[in-house]
Amino acid sequence: MADLPLLNTYGRLPIVFDHGRGPWLYDTDGNRYFDTFCGIAVSGLGHAHPAITQAIADQAARLMHCSNLFHTGIQQSLARKLCDISGMDGVFFANSGAEANEAALKLARLYGHNRGIHSPAVLVMDRSFHGRTLATLTATGNRKVQAGFEPLVSGFVRAPYNDLDAVSAIARSNPNIVAVLLEPIQGEGGLQVADPSWLQGVREICDHQGWLMMLDEVQTGNGRTGNYFAYQTFGVTPDVVTTAKGLGNGFPIGACLARGEAARTFQPGHHGSTFGGNALACAAASAVIDTLEKDQLMARAREVGDRIRSRLEQAFAGADYVRSIRGIGLMIGVELTSPCAELVPLAKTQGLLLNVTAERVIRLLPPLTLTDEEADTMVDQLIRILRLYAADDRQSPRSNEGPKGSQTP
Ligand SMILES: Cc1ncc(COP(=O)(O)O)c(C=O)c1O
């Protein structure tokens, strides 16, 4: 596959997929694989969900696109649904997570300028991930994502995640901060879960300083943590929230939602997108929300997530190669004591598609539609593969370090 006419941006496994159904993907040779991470938190209702397929087909037959110089009923109704769910006052529709975050970053700068801050800065976190555009890769707390793309965008200040003293110190020393952007659970950063008291403390600092609290829920949103947005689980309300990924179950759509003064900041001409809020994308997202609600899938994410985590905790209690099992709902990380990228090709030979992030964290993001039986199939496979991997490691050891523990806020 080396000579394919594709720019070389991904390290891909040599599998060609043809179709999917629920948590399963089928390759062109007819082999079946269990997809444990849903295209990185995208197909939250599973592959080829009939309600989404039908909604897209019906909308395609009526109207796929018209300019944002006009209204469509489907865009209006999706905006209303999202605002009702989130408590926000308005939505800007984009096509991806990075674009939703770009909208938030532009909104924050404009909000700052409106308040007389002419060099506004946004506070972002170590180990964060916000996308691959120039502004969002600058916001991202990972040098690997930034290296080679300098000069980076100005106007970002960084703090360690879950460290309220660091945020307070920056609030005292930097008058140019206008907003903070953070993920309630860092996905790419290795399933780091925010401490609820840290989030509440950041909220208080934002209120005191007049900063916008902006949450990147591109990965955590759309029901995955047991509520539509993770902030509803943590008991804080942001001023701006962004999402994408599971919003369209595979149809590209992103959204930047805002409330209060933040929602009144953009005026015509400040921001835009040809395809943002496209009728087809809105029909897909609207059907996703209806299905999440009708089938009570958010409660299900919490229930099946607890089942998966407790089975993994039981299986690996005392295993010296597992450092921690953590997460909320169907966003679960299994952190090993040493880098484990080799697990991915090994799991593939066993029919399991795995994602490893931050070098040593197996990230499980299965669909919210998972039955108990499917969840058990996934867990049984993972346990078997990890034990195989660890036994192999004992024959030719990798480096082992650090304590083992489990954290489930
Ligand atoms: C938290 C977060 N923000 C932003 C992005 C970027 O989203 P996209 O790839 O749709 O641009 C991602 C993608 O992984 C993400 O996890």
Asked if residue 178 lies in contact with residue 121, where contact means CB atoms within 8 angstroms, the answer is yes
pLDDT (0 to 100) of residue 405? 31
* Of 131, 121, 201, residue with least CA distance to 161: 201
Q: Measure the CA–CA gap between 321 and 309, rounded to whole angstroms.
A: 17
Q: Measure the CA–CA gap between 25 and 352, rounded to whole angstroms.
A: 10
For residue 162, the tally of other CB atoms under 10 A from its CB is 19
Give 97 Cα–ligand 1 centroid separation in angstroms. 5
Please write the tens of the pLDDT for every residue from 196-207: 999 999 999 999
Give 253 Cα–ligand 1 centroid separation in angstroms. 12
Q: pLDDT tier at 1 (50, 70, 90 boundaries)?
A: low
Q: pLDDT tier at 398 (50, 70, 90 boundaries)?
A: low
Contacts of 265 (CB under 8 A, 6+ apart): 107, 110, 111, 114, 258
Give, using CA atoms, the residue closest to atom 7 of ligand 1: 97
Give 107 Cα–ligand 1 centroid separation in angstroms. 18
| 32 bridge partner residues | 26
Domains of the chain in start order, with CATH, are: 17-48+297-395 (3.90.1150.10), 50-294 (3.40.640.10)
Q: pLDDT tier at 101 (50, 70, 90 boundaries)?
A: very high
pLDDT (0 to 100) of residue 371? 98
Known binding residue 274? Answer is yes
Is there a cis peptide before residue 151, judged by omega within 30 degrees of 0? yes
Best of 191, 192, 219 to mutate for ligand 1, by most ligand atoms within 8 A of CB? 219
Please write the tens of the pLDDT for every residue from 26-75: 999 999 999 999 999 999 999 999 999 999 999 999 999 999 999 999 99
Kindly give the number of the ligand 1 atom that is closest to the alpha carbon of 101.
4
pLDDT (0 to 100) of residue 98? 98
Taking every pair of Cα atoms in the chain, the longest distance, rounded to a whole number of angstroms, is: 65
Please write the tens of the pLDDT for every residue from 235-253: 999 999 999 999 999 999 9
Asked if residue 368 lies in contact with residue 45, where contact means CB atoms within 8 angstroms, the answer is yes
Task: Report the relative pairing of strands 212-216 and 240-243 from DSSP bridges.
Answer: parallel
Q: Is the pLDDT assigned to residue 402 strictly greater than 80? A: no
Best of 130, 181, 220, 251 to mutate for ligand 1, by most ligand atoms within 8 A of CB? 130
Burial class from Cβ neighbours inside 10 Å (0-12, 13-18, 19+) for residue 63 reads: middle
Unique residue bearing structure tokens 């300019």: 67
Asked if residue 370 lies in contact with residue 303, where contact means CB atoms within 8 angstroms, the answer is no
Asked if residue 129 lies in contact with residue 217, where contact means CB atoms within 8 angstroms, the answer is no
Please write the tens of the pLDDT for every residue from 137-156: 999 999 999 999 999 999 99
* Of 122, 119, 23, residue with least CA distance to 330: 23
Please write the tens of the pLDDT for every residue from 334-369: 999 999 999 999 999 999 999 999 999 999 999 999
Query: Is 22 in a helix, a strand, or coil?
Result: strand
Known binding residue 248? Answer is no
User: What is the rounded average pLDDT for all residues in the chain?
Assistant: 95
Q: pLDDT tier at 389 (50, 70, 90 boundaries)?
A: very high
Give 231 Cα–ligand 1 centroid separation in angstroms. 17
